[in-house]
Structure 1
């Protein structure tokens, strides 16, 4: 039997049987059986926009990093301001390869002394994508200096509660979570379970991500689902929500051939890092930020009702100028929307283009992202 004949091993999440009991339709994703929907993608999408949706994202990699100089070490492979992070504060950042290509996008939090992990957990909590976590862990071990300790917390589950009613719902179980602002995190107790809670998420809505011991995941999920604002939501709605919010998906909108400037992720490379460099591919990336990259990630709205999917070619007249990387029909806007890359001279807002959808050219317009307003609760906005 060749390697190609060996079936891929699909793992189960801590909540696998719970999802099935809730009517979840399970599919293989990122090496796990995961629920794609329960009551229908559109219904779940709209529920999350109006109420609170509960997502299981336990396939993500949860890591902690400990040791003197951990922040400086992270800045050698991430272009973000890690040294400037205060306790309980978070950053979105990018794991970069030798030439500046994006190996993954991730979240980094500086842990306070009191957290929901073991006492030796370390200085930073890092969440990486499920499909890339093993490669990320290997790369981090390879790139980080000796003397630092990287731990993978495979015994932790991760839930996301997202939507405008998420704060009121979770606050009834974990008083004090409403005091967090967007990109802040802290230790709380939910249904008697120690939890690490961050006010963040991947839908564009206000909400939280909740790290808990896998053994307690069902008890916490049941307590959340007992709240009238909360329903379980699957992968399908998670994808349509993040697309409306203009959030890229690694392996589709981001990959090792795309640098931060081309990906239009300038906020992830702050002024100090552009001045100092010191991260992989810094010279090229900083040059692109200064002079403009040859291509750029854009949003598109498409005429009609037929969505353009990943891989569709974008045209300007008879000239192919780019490719769709994510696309679908927006349940909130009732129009097809997409994300993709085009040559920079076609990336200006309002530029008229066309997309080839099943052999038919559909009119498309370069549009601002997010397509639907992000509703994060930032400091000073309450």
Structure 2
């Protein structure tokens, strides 16, 4: 069975992300005939001589009318080699939050750069996001090579700029490809118009990259979403039933496994694993299941069931890196809600200690963070959580900061000193 690869695209405005994705879908024969016919009709209505393949990804009418992509558009396609899920993120700086969303679960970030403009501030910001989120692979598509007459020297200069910036951010796995998304050069098949480039096409790169590490090989982490206790009317079979439902964030669990409940620290043994299709002897990430335990343990939503062989520490003090996504400034003394897994707790921002300078890739002193800033903060929580370093676990090392009044997402965060480690490279 073909392996699944999760992609997230990013780039500055008008770098050609939607056109690249449309070309990839069309040339890999992943577009239905009626979809392409609709694109051709809209293109003719606009007075274009050929189909605008960007319309294959700009699914919202309001987006097409404005001529921009304004949200994360998820697409599925497959080749003979593997299957793909692609998150096409917007390029405007005010939508950096969407890029964080798309990249948080990606195996590969595909970053577009206009060969005529070279490295932009938004390019550096997206490289920083990829580094902080520990995305395994970064593919930089140097687009619009046709507009510089397929000049190899221009491509080499931009490629060198990108690699230099990536190196300062601690990114080691970066691949660059010269492409004309509009004409299709080096997108699916290698182009004869770039004889100076002897590397693979964009699709060939994607077909050979390995997905992120297998979460099933990590220790069991099971955030409890719901406690299930059916009423007696459900029948005698369920009279004393108590189950804990949720999605396995990492690892696997078997009947008979010893487990620990956090933050209480109580221990028990798994006596059953239930699903809508019946009982299982074992389950693994990312399955959604209901666990039954041997002991009557006080468990509620937000608690975490973990393997007793690897129990993370709980804490009420969290150091972390945040990508600030709100128009309101973040400063010490700000009260927020912190969402970690299925747990939501009150939190106070104790310290804002620095901001990432995208040009130097250094952490600079700062006591506030503004929209799209990436910085380091210290939080004090009203209740303990089992926070693990993001460097060790993407599943349980991530958190959100939420406005307690209106429920708006303020920041995406990563537990630990990932920013300090990146800035020190």
- Give the TM interval when normalised to the shorter protein: under 0.3
Higher gyration radius (CA): 2
If asked which structure has higher relative contact order (CA below 8 Å, sep 6+), I would say 1
Alignment TM-score, normalising by the size of structure 2: 0.26
Alignment TM-score, normalising by the size of structure 1: 0.28
